[in-house]
């Protein structure tokens, strides 16, 4: 039936002239904008249903870690009960963070940018453009007062929201200046501002990894340190060339910086050795810690053993969940100053168990490798930084009272939850169970069900009536 409908729809499109096709796609865009405006309104209404008072009505006392009221928009916007955000995100198929941003934008527009809010619902300004304005006024530094936000609203609305990112940033800065919101900044003084702020820093942008396996590094150094670093890089690059390297100067200097990071000559300062005793070369080598530690977790799917990517054999780095080329791994491990430790293989499907409540390191490692991320619907927090939750709560009094343990410390009763979603599961009616190793089925307070596995999150069935 669905195939027949799709064929009919395709045939209708084929019959359209060029002008009719443009008119049709414009009509579809208008429908999309109207739906986005309606979604903003519904998000604001969802916040209205969950004011801070709903928290206090639900509990007669406060338990550490329980739900609290949370500001998610600017000054003058209502607060929202923290845990209501997660269910909205799950139903929309987005993360809790994305749902929080949606509600925050809706409240910011309705309460602090009312002219823009009206233009969105009149179809004059698309929701995405209004949300970009709300994002700017919510996160302005310093924070905008209601009067300052209203001034920005007037300026942007006067041109029906047709401002670019640079113009919007200038308007926000003008509002900060006009309403005298910025505190005096001694560092901006061209004469002696350097006395207040030390600009030295080294920043490694490890969130943005190039497909070639490189990252960007930037730094501001002391003049003397910078000159010394330049000389050290030039010397190492020249040494590489003398040893036969045919790579470019830029590549050799980049490799030289990596060599400096691994050599760690400054660690000699931390050895409390007799100043009169000259340690041998072997002693100094044994005293220094290894320059590089590589922890690798290889995962193989029996159905894909013969398949490789276009770049060649690949694996997955647990850190940042990045793909890793086998060629890169070989080059790292071949370095003479690299120590490679092979850890025992952990079967992710084996059901490990332990007595008592505490989780042994081997079971913890297995659960982390199995789940990879927080197992709440659409959450992508790395499992390494999550709590390990007993899916069915551990009963600390069961043994003393002679009852069987309902929530044993066992692989099939443990899952990774980030702290936020761990609290959500503990203090609300969100419930979940493990259907298979690494596969979890969640039920929200309003009956929506979701299935989370390694491929992501999918809705299971409609909410109960």
Q: What whole-number distance in Å separates Cα of residue 387 and Cα of residue 374?
A: 9
Q: What whole-number distance in Å separates Cα of residue 77 and Cα of residue 99?
A: 17
Buried b (16+ CB within 10 A) or exposed e, 118-150: ebbbeeebbbebbbbbbebbbebeeebbeebbb
Cβ-Cβ contacts under 8 Å for 394 (sequence gap 6 or more): 357, 405, 407, 408, 409
264-275 pLDDT, tens digit per residue, is 543 443 444 444
DSSP lists the bridge partners of residue 354 as 409
Q: What whole-number distance in Å separates Cα of residue 366 and Cα of residue 314?
A: 22
Tokens of 142: 């310093």
Q: Say if CB 152 and CB 137 are below 8 A apart.
A: yes
> What average pLDDT does range 366-392 have in this prediction?
95
Q: What whole-number distance in Å separates Cα of residue 151 and Cα of residue 147?
A: 6
CA 165 to chain centre: 23
Question: Environment class of residue 195 by beta-carbon count within 10 Å: exposed (0-12), middle (13-18) or buried (19+)?
Answer: exposed
pTM of the model: 0.75
| Closest C-alpha among 460, 370, 465 to residue 93 | 460
401-431 pLDDT, tens digit per residue, is 889 999 999 999 999 999 999 999 999 999 9
Output the pLDDT for position 11: 55
Tokens of 190: 């061209």
CA 129 to chain centre: 24
Output the pLDDT for position 315: 62
* Residue % of the chain over a pLDDT of 90: 56
76-116 pLDDT, tens digit per residue, is 999 999 999 999 999 999 999 999 999 999 999 999 999 99
CA 43 to chain centre: 22
Tokens of 194: 């350097």
Tokens of 107: 């409240």
Query: Residue 309 pLDDT > 60, yes or no?
Result: no
Q: What is the DSSP letter of 373?
A: B
156-170 pLDDT, tens digit per residue, is 999 988 989 999 999
């Amino acid at each position: 039936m669905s195939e027949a409908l799709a064929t009919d729809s395709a045939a209708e499109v084929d019959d359209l002239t060029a002008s009719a096709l443009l008119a049709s796609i414009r009509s579809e865009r208008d429908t999309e904008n109207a739906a986005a405006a309606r979604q903003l309104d519904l998000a604001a209404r969802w916040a209205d249903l969950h004011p801070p008072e709903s928290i206090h009505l639900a509990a007669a006392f406060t338990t550490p870690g329980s739900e609290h009221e949370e500001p998610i928009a600017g000054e003058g916007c209502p607060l929202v009960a923290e845990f209501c955000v997660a269910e909205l995100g799950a139903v929309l198929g987005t993360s809790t963070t994305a749902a929080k941003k949606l509600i925050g934008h809706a409240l910011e527009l309705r309460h602090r940018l009312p002219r823009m809010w009206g233009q969105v619902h009149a179809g004059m300004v698309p929701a995405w453009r209004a949300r970009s304005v709300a994002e700017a006024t919510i996160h302005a530094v310093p924070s905008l007062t209601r009067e300052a936000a209203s001034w920005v609203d007037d300026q942007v609305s006067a041109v029906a929201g047709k401002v670019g990112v640079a113009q919007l940033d200038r308007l926000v800065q003008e509002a900060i200046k006009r309403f005298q919101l910025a505190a005096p900044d001694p560092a901006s003084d061209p004469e002696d501002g350097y006395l207040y702020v030390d600009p030295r820093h080294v920043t490694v942008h490890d969130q943005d990894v190039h497909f070639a396996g490189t990252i960007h590094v930037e730094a501001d150094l002391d003049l003397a340190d910078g000159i010394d670093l330049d000389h050290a890089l030039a010397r190492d690059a020249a040494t590489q060339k003398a040893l036969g390297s045919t790579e470019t100067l830029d590549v050799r200097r980049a490799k030289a910086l990596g060599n400096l990071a691994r050599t760690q000559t400054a660690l000699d300062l931390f050895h409390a050795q007799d100043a009169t005793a000259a340690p041998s070369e072997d002693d100094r080598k044994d005293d220094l810690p290894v320059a590089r530690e590589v922890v690798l977790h290889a995962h193989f799917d029996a159905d894909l053993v013969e398949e490789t990517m276009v770049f060649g054999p690949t694996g997955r780095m647990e850190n940042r969940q990045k793909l890793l080329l086998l060629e890169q791994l070989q080059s790292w491990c071949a370095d003479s100053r690299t120590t490679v430790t092979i850890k025992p293989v952990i079967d992710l499907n084996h059901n490990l168990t332990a007595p008592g409540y505490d989780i042994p390191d081997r079971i913890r490692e297995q659960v982390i490798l199995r789940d990879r991320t927080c197992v709440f619907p659409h959450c992508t927090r790395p499992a390494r930084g999550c709590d390990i939750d007993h899916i069915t709560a551990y009963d600390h009094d069961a043994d003393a009272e002679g009852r069987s343990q309902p929530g044993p410390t066992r692989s099939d009763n443990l899952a990774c939850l980030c702290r936020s979603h761990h609290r959500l599961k503990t203090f609300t009616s969100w419930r979940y169970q493990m259907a298979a190793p690494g596969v979890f089925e969640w039920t929200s307070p309003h009956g929506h069900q979701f299935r989370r596995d390694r491929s992501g999150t999918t809705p299971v069935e409609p909410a109960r009536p």
